[in-house]
Amino acid sequence: MSFYSNILRKTALPFLLSREKQLPTLEHFSFLQKSQFWSTDKLLDFQWACLKKLLQESYDNTIYYRTVMDERGLTPDSFKSFDDIKKLPILTREITFDKQAEFFSNKFLKSSLQEFTSGGTTGQRATLFRNQQSFNIKLAMAWRHETWMGRFPCEKMALIWPAAMDFVDDEPFKTKFKNRYLHRQIMYNAGGLDAESLNFINKDLLKFNPSYIKCFPSALFGYTEYCNEHNLIQPACKAILSTGEPLSVNQKKLFEQTYKCPVFDMYGSREVGNTSSECEEHDGMHIAMETSYVEFVQDNKEVEYSTEGEMLITDLTNFAFPLIRYAINDYGIPMKEPCKCGRGLVRMDKALGRLSDVLYKQDGTKVLSHILGIALTMEGPPIGQMQFIQKTYTDFVVKITNKPEPTQEIFDFINKEMKLLLGDSLNIVIEVVDKIPKEKSGKFRFVKCEIAK
Ligand SMILES: [Zn+2]
């Protein structure tokens, strides 16, 4: 930890935070730094107390949860253990969209809430809300996850981001100065991947000389490949935190080789903030138990350990617009054994792909895209970035990037795995491309199904 960042953390940071009503973040941060080392049982007790409070407040103050519980003959006292939460329905984005007004707690002034939207890669975009205290706790949790790669607030960090929606045009000079010299964190838009912006990022990064990088892996990957191709010097770095989309084996390898530092994977979302993150053991991701309750289910039943399930996330901090059993449209794998690092936080493993990305077999049955993702990335020859587009039940276009240049062996491998999974008589057209375009949100989609449903 540098002397200068230490001074900033003690002087400028509290001042900046208090101006934004974020001063309690420091207290939350200090709490979370301790609670991560509590025993799992103590963390579960804490999580249960938070969940009970959330159920009570949601019942007392929101129309949606009052109605849903009344309809089922439930009161907050009906919930005696974590398992009882399954008595409540799964919350989809569509419900928050259709019944938005019913989710607001009457304890908060709507004008005091922060508004945010979901990423938008999985169908309907939802507009959700959060109270200031929830924001502060989530910020503290983000800081905690950064400490796992070694970064404390006010240490230099570059954010390599793809999504234009996070950028504010014409940021005032004061904000730029504050971010660069006090928070010491600069966000770069590497979404365009055009030479001009990548050259600019490279120049400014060298000047800024960050110790840490936080990135969407596809954005950092594109930028890094460009720099390597053009023999541009890259700043040395202590660690990289990857978030926003699945981190592929190839991306991780390129980052480790180029920046000569470890890469940490983190799972979070706009809707419920940071959910889980890798510690220095790099063995699964610790769930942020103090702020989230995560279920892994299939047909509303908890899956066994080491088995993939749909993730339902309950945000334990958001009392203004409660999200209980929120279907984030992702899969995860609950892990049983404790981590060697000594943290009591339970762990999960990530699954590839997104739930809503569905493919169809010839007979019309659905296949979840993550199964294809696992088949193609867990073994076999190294392959560039891939995208699968299903045109009809039998016609597919597979885009594959030209680095590494795909060989006949790779074409055969893709053909074999797809036919194994989706049926024998498929027409698979493989296109080798320079890059795969991203969605408007800036996110990359592994599978696109164009069959009208
Ligand atoms: Zn650990």
CATH class, domain 358-449, is alpha beta
Q: pLDDT at position 353, please?
A: 46
Distance 227 CA to ligand 1 centre (A): 33
Q: pLDDT at position 180, please?
A: 86
Q: pLDDT at position 124, please?
A: 43
Distance 331 CA to ligand 1 centre (A): 21
Q: Please state, in angstroms and rounded to a whole number, the distance separating the CA atoms of residues 363 and 210.
A: 52
Distance 221 CA to ligand 1 centre (A): 26
> Cα 453 vs. chain centroid, distance in angstroms?
28
In this structure, which residues have their CB less than 5 angstroms from ion ligand 1?
A: 279, 281, 339, 341, 343
Query: CB–CB of 446/388 below 8 Å?
Result: yes
Distance 278 CA to ligand 1 centre (A): 7
Sequence-ordered list of residues with C-beta below 8 angstroms from that of 174, at least 6 positions apart, any chain: none
The total of other beta-carbon atoms located within 10 Å of residue 258's CB is: 17
Distance 281 CA to ligand 1 centre (A): 6
Amino acid at site 279: C
Distance 42 CA to ligand 1 centre (A): 17
Q: pLDDT at position 123, please?
A: 39
Distance 76 CA to ligand 1 centre (A): 34
Partners of 157 in beta bridges: 185, 212
Distance 343 CA to ligand 1 centre (A): 6
Q: Quick check: helix, strand or coil at residue 275? A: strand
What does the DSSP 8-state code read for residue 368?
Answer: E
Strands (E), 300-422: 301-302, 309-315, 326-335, 347-350, 358-360, 366-368, 386-390, 395-401
Distance 348 CA to ligand 1 centre (A): 11
Q: pLDDT at position 158, please?
A: 96
Query: CB–CB of 295/327 below 8 Å?
Result: no
Q: Quick check: helix, strand or coil at residue 379? A: coil
Q: Please state, in angstroms and rounded to a whole number, the distance separating the CA atoms of residues 140 and 153.
A: 10
Q: For 267-298, give one letter per residue: b (16+ CB within 10 A) or e.
A: bbbbbbbbbbbbbeeeebbbbbbbbbbbbbbe
Task: Tell me the HSE value of 437 on the side-chain side, using a 13 A CA sphere.
Answer: 4
Amino acid at site 335: M
Distance 306 CA to ligand 1 centre (A): 17
Q: pLDDT at position 453, please?
A: 55
Ranges of residues in the chain with a pLDDT under 50 are: 120-124, 353-356, 441-442
